[in-house]
Structure 1
């Protein structure tokens, strides 16, 4: 049985991350949720930043998985 992840819960979790990204002039947008996969887009200063992969994996993905059981993967689009 596939885990259903509510978009609203993902948005709430992203709201806990956004202040840290905003300090560097960036933001993160939720593009969609499909099963256990969450699609996001880094924007502002985060877009094209050499550290964006690090931020996505060790910051965003780790935090979302802590807050929302069932998330398998974060995909940057």
Structure 2
């Protein structure tokens, strides 16, 4: 099912996100819960939750009614966080 969702994202979601300098990746699909991450300029955008609810969730659940929820994953990559700590630690 992930391949079909990727195809839907390619057709209906990614073109809109790309207009704003962003993209989307699928993190996981477990127990009919789809976890996605916004990337590029869409990552951390104040409108990210609205984008997830009004665009991504709408399109995914319209095409795949068995998907119960689309969750926006917002944690920071641990490697990136570690690099930031090292940089900040060297500046003191």
Question: What is the TM-score of this pair, normalised by structure 2?
Answer: 0.75
Mapped pair 1:10 → 2:18: no
* Larger relative contact order, structure 1 or 2 (CA cutoff 8 Å, min sep 6): 1
RMSD: 0.8
Q: For 1:1-77, list aligned pairs within 5 A.
A: 6-15=1-10, 16-77=12-73
Q: Would you tell me which structure has more helix in proportion to its own residues? A: 2
Larger-Rg structure: 2
Which segments of structure 1 move beyond 2 Å, counting only runs of 4 or more? none
Gaps (5+ residues) in structure 1? 1-5
Question: What is the TM-score of this pair, normalised by structure 1?
Answer: 0.88
